[in-house]
Amino acid sequence: MTEEHDNVRVAFLWDPTSPRWSRRRFLQTMGFMAAAGAAGTSCGGGGGSSGSGPEAKRLNFYNWTDYIAESTIPGFTKATGIKVTYDNYSSNDDLFAKIRQGGTGYDLIVPTDNFVVKMIDGGLLEKLDLSKIPNVKNLDPRFRTAAFDPGNRYSIPWQWGTTGIGYDPDAVGSRVDDWTGFDLPAVKGRSSFLDEARDAFGMAMYALGKDPNSTAAGDIEAARKYLIALKKKVKQITSDYQDPLKSGGLILAQAYSGDVFQVQAENKKVQYVIPKSGAFQWVDSLCIPKGAKHPGNAHKFMNYILEPKVGAALTNYVQYGTPNKAALPFVDKAVKDNPLIMPPADVLAELKFQKPLGEAELKIADAWTSVKTS
């Protein structure tokens, strides 16, 4: 979908016939219009409102890859006449770095809960006008009072899930129920863990029996050493695991729940497990970056995705949990009744969220650089 011209990425409008990729896969398959040869241009210059007149019927959307139903954007455009351009990122770290530098031109982004907090604290998000999102009433109450953004002042939940293990029991040679699966002989050189600092360190902390949100210097150092040792066993550190897991290039991967269920649709042998020693749960949310040129259109999209059938179509496609309580009657039974997609309350109670770590984030970042460069 993209072409390169003198180091400028030329991309195209949303194409619902594009192949289906992992939530975390970084292919930049869909993106914003840019003039070939116009080095340094960004989506921010294309037809946005200056803030004094009516908004152009455009929406610039920055999201994880394959994290949207094929019908979502065409349906929104049909309902509103608003044309959507769509771009993708591979990690919260990439998203945060881009938004913090400013001038991106994006109107909607989808950060994970702990990054929502970082962006609020950094003054990087617009406050929402909930009067323009009447369908907020459709959210499950636990997503109206979530600690990362109580009252939905800055965010509207998109989907939620868990971070666990995707694997092929036949290839591995046994059932896997914990992070110790990386130690199995058959897995050596055929596994991967996520290219995202907090997910990797959380896995290490859980495996070592520590609080995954620990900021203690000793715990961070122990996790760093664990990951360096693990790096020698795995095939790669990557968030691009879905196709290799499907084809057998990887037989075990630290993975996001819905990604594995999408793989499972094409390779029935692949299974997903929430490790018994612990795992993260998370919520990804729609947010409007500070200075967005089409905030009114962003509000309209937020309200649209909270329509019951629209929200259900999203969940049925990506196979993550829906925060939209009104959508549940329209969610496929196989998705709704799968306790690994939508874990029951007693399981959720044992799964932690990533907490913002303040200055300790820098310690994690330094330790992660050490892991990546070792």
- Per-residue pLDDT averaged across 231-236, rounded? 98
- Per-residue pLDDT averaged across 46-70, rounded? 78
What is the pLDDT, as a whole number, of residue 208? 97
Q: Long-range contacts: 321-324, Cβ < 8 Å, 24+? A: 321/159, 321/160, 321/161, 322/159, 322/160, 323/139, 323/140, 323/143, 323/157, 323/158, 323/159, 323/160, 323/283, 324/138, 324/139, 324/140
pLDDT tier at 34, thresholds 50, 70, 90: very low
- Per-residue pLDDT averaged across 197-224, rounded? 97
With 70 as the cut, is the pLDDT of residue 106 above it? yes
Site of tokens 């990729």? 21
Which CATH number fits the domain 3-160+283-345, given the four candidates 3.40.190.10, 3.40.50.150, 1.10.10.410, 3.40.1110.10? 3.40.190.10
Q: To the nearest whole number, what is the mean pLDDT of the chain?
A: 87
With 50 as the cut, is the pLDDT of residue 259 above it? yes
Judge whether 3-160+283-345 and 162-281+350-373 match in fold. yes
pLDDT tier at 14, thresholds 50, 70, 90: very low
229 C-beta neighbours (distance < 10 Å), count: 12
Site of tokens 């874990």? 343
- Domain 162-281+350-373 -> CATH class: alpha beta
Sequence-separated (6 or more) residues with CB below 8 Å from residue 323:
139, 140, 143, 157, 158, 159, 160, 283
With 90 as the cut, is the pLDDT of residue 350 above it? no
Contact call for residues 170 and 252 (beta carbons, < 8 A): no
C-alpha torsion sign, points 214, 215, 219, 225: positive
Contact call for residues 120 and 246 (beta carbons, < 8 A): no
The percentage of residues in the chain with a pLDDT greater than 70, rounded to a whole number, is 86
Please state the domain extents for the chain: 3-160+283-345, 162-281+350-373
Largest CA distance in the chain: 64
What is the distance between the terminal CA atoms of the chain, rounded to a whole angstrom? Answer: 34
With 50 as the cut, is the pLDDT of residue 163 above it? yes
What is the pLDDT, as a whole number, of residue 53? 67
The tens digit of pLDDT for each residue in 353-365 reads 998 888 898 999 9
The tens digit of pLDDT for each residue in 273-325 reads 999 999 999 999 999 999 999 999 999 999 999 999 999 999 999 999 999 99
What is the pLDDT, as a whole number, of residue 54? 85
Q: Report CA 162 to chain centroid distance, whole Å.
A: 11
The Cα–Cα gap between 2 and 8 comes to: 10
What is the pLDDT, as a whole number, of residue 30? 31
The tens digit of pLDDT for each residue in 319-349 reads 999 999 999 999 999 999 999 999 988 888 8
Phi then psi dihedrals of residue 351, to 5 deg:
-100, 125
The residues with which 156 forms a beta bridge, in sequence order, are 286
- Per-residue pLDDT averaged across 184-192, rounded? 97
Sequence-separated (6 or more) residues with CB below 8 Å from residue 170:
269
- Per-residue pLDDT averaged across 142-148, rounded? 91
pTM assigned to the model: 0.81
3-class SS of residue 117: helix
What is the pLDDT, as a whole number, of residue 52? 52
What is the pLDDT, as a whole number, of residue 91? 85
